[in-house]
């Protein structure tokens, strides 16, 4: 069986907001679709990827499943399709829900198969036909999460933290009070009642220090409903549980953070293990195994995001422990301690000054001294040629985890004008230097890796002048 890496899709694919669902014997991932180096989120049409439930390394491209201009309110395709979710309705058909840009409208499309071409069905509306989001004072429709429950009832979750200008939402002043829930009629489009706020973004009922921001996602485990969302910190996915779908949720904790914040008590964003920005995803349950799907940032901004996943461990009480970000989330264990590995699977990345955020004004200017993931080709071209650019002195790229053997050598593939050494350690503080590989203007030598056998992390730190482009490394038995 092939190995699985993070990101788990090809290097040229940029799928954020990934929602994994099991239909039949395959896992299907539905997400937004970023364009490499785009100036804004979600420029491309929706596509789908799937893998056998028994082999999460074998992802297959299912093609375009829904185009922006299929929505009659977007015939020119100028508006964007934000984070979607899919459920299998009580009638056996598949329903795709999507946030329609920042317009405050939620669309629905339908298909007879999980990854076929979805057809526009309608916009989520009230019983009188008024589109949700077109009444003054409506809660802003955004980031749908949908659950077709065992009893045939269908629940729709939504919500966004930041108020949106009325000029964007058809001149209507909409509310942004937090995460909402509403039940749908059997037609899968009509609301049975008013959406109700059950995850307030502030005040009584909110989750202190992990208040709701966006990214509603819902799953059911036996009699327990599990709600996943992005908090106001933006870089983390949290969860809450309840015995009913429409309220009574109790905060469970953080599932994953892009920078491993809140793990081991670290809340200092400057000391995060990776660059921060928004993230969004959902839970996948396969037998006894649980995974959290999320996305990372690339190219020094929030508009070229890639799909990642981590395996979750359960607590004795039945909750979830926070997962650390790794290079091998879906692999079922550490990567083999030999072979060629692309630098793009680094799960940790920072500069001599720590990390920064990719959201906020002008991040590229503020981060010009920092390393970052990028690619040589254009959007969806070939293998993308993805690598780590701009590794200046003190920059670190970390990879977790490998099954290291007794005698191993490491060699590098690099570019750029950097001159110096790439130090290798199994510790992020480099208290023990296991190898030093000489680099000179894109040329690199190999070196023995003096590392104890076992499951180890690999950290690469550049020391020298100029900037290195880190493409790949190879582990070879001596």
Point out the residues that are catalytic: 17, 214
The torsion angles phi and psi of 60, rounded to 5 degrees, stand at: -120, 135
For 250-315, list the strands marked E by DSSP. Answer: 250-257, 283-286, 289-298, 301-312
The radius of gyration of the chain's CA atoms, rounded to the nearest angstrom, is 23
Pairing between strand 339-342 and 468-477? antiparallel
Q: Exposed e or buried b for every residue in 117-126, given b needs 16+ CB within 10 A?
A: ebebbbbbbb
Whether the Cβ atoms of residue 434 and residue 449 lie closer than 8 Å to each other: yes
Q: Is the peptide bond before 401 cis (omega within 30 degrees of 0)?
A: yes
Please return the burial class of 84, using the count of CB atoms within 10 Å of its CB with bins 0-12, 13-18 and 19+. buried
Whether the Cβ atoms of residue 420 and residue 463 lie closer than 8 Å to each other: yes
**DSSP-based three-state secondary structure for 335:** strand
The half-sphere exposure of 290 on its side-chain side, counting CA atoms within 13 A, is 19
User: What is the C-alpha separation between 35 and 419, in angstroms, rounded?
Assistant: 33
Whether the Cβ atoms of residue 115 and residue 88 lie closer than 8 Å to each other: no
User: Whose CA is closest to 422, among 406, 433, 409?
Assistant: 433
Cβ neighbours around 368 below 10 Å, total = 10
**DSSP-based three-state secondary structure for 394:** coil
Element (H, E) at 155: strand 154-159
User: What is the C-alpha separation between 128 and 143, in angstroms, rounded?
Assistant: 24
Whether the Cβ atoms of residue 83 and residue 17 lie closer than 8 Å to each other: yes
User: What is the C-alpha separation between 243 and 318, in angstroms, rounded?
Assistant: 14
The torsion angles phi and psi of 364, rounded to 5 degrees, stand at: -65, -40
User: What is the C-alpha separation between 188 and 122, in angstroms, rounded?
Assistant: 9
Whether the Cβ atoms of residue 365 and residue 372 lie closer than 8 Å to each other: no
Query: In DSSP terms, which residues pair with 175 in a beta bridge?
Result: 139
> DSSP letter at 377?
S
User: What is the C-alpha separation between 470 and 18, in angstroms, rounded?
Assistant: 27
List the helix and strand counts (H, then E) for the chain: 1, 32
């Amino acid at each position: 069986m092939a190995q699985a890496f993070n990101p788990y899709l090809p290097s040229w694919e940029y799928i954020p907001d990934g929602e994994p669902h099991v239909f039949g014997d395959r896992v299907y991932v539905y997400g937004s679709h970023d364009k490499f180096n785009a100036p804004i989120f979600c420029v491309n049409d929706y596509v789908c990827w799937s893998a056998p439930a028994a082999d999460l390394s074998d992802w297959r491209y299912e093609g375009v499943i829904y185009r922006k201009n299929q929505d009659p309110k977007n015939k020119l395709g100028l508006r964007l399709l934000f984070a979607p979710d899919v459920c299998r309705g009580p009638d056996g058909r598949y329903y795709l829900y999507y946030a329609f840009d920042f317009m405050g409208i939620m669309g629905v499309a339908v298909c007879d198969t999980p990854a076929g071409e979805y057809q526009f069905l309608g916009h989520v509306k009230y019983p009188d036909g008024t589109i949700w989001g077109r009444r003054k004072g409506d809660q802003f429709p955004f980031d749908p999460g949908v659950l077709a429950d065992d009893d045939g009832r269908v629940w729709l979750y939504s919500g966004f933290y930041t108020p949106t200008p009325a000029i964007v939402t058809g001149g209507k002043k909409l509310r942004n009070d937090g995460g909402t829930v509403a039940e749908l009629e059997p037609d899968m489009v009509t609301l049975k009642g008013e959406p109700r706020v059950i995850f307030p973004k502030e005040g009584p009922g909110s989750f202190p220090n992990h208040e709701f921001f966006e990214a509603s996602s819902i799953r059911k485990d036996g009699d327990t409903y599990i709600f996943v969302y992005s908090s106001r910190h933006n870089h983390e996915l949290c969860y809450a549980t309840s015995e009913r779908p429409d309220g009574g949720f109790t905060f469970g904790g953080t599932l994953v953070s892009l920078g491993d914040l809140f793990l081991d008590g670290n809340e200092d964003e400057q000391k995060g293990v990776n660059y921060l920005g928004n993230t969004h995803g959902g839970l996948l349950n396969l037998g006894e195994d649980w995974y959290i799907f999320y996305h990372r940032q690339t190219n020094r901004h929030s508009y070229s995001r890639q799909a990642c996943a981590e395996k979750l461990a359960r607590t004795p009480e039945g909750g979830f422990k926070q997962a650390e970000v790794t290079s091998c989330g879906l692999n079922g264990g550490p990567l083999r301690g030999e072979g060629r590995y692309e630098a793009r699977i680094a799960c940790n990345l920072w500069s001599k000054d720590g990390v920064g955020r990719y959201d906020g004004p002008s991040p590229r200017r503020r981060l010009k001294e920092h390393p970052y993931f990028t690619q040589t080709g254009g959007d969806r071209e070939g293998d993308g040629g993805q690598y780590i650019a701009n590794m200046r002195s003190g920059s670190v790229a970390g990879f977790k985890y490998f099954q290291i053997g007794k005698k191993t050598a490491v060699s590098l593939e690099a570019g750029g004008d950097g001159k110096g050494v790439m130090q290798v350690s199994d510790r992020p503080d480099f208290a023990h230097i296991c190898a030093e590989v000489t680099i000179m203007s894109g040329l690199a030598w190999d070196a023995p890796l003096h590392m104890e056998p076992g499951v180890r992390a690999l950290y690469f730190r550049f020391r020298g002048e100029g900037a290195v482009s880190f493409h790949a490394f190879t582990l070879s038995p001596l």
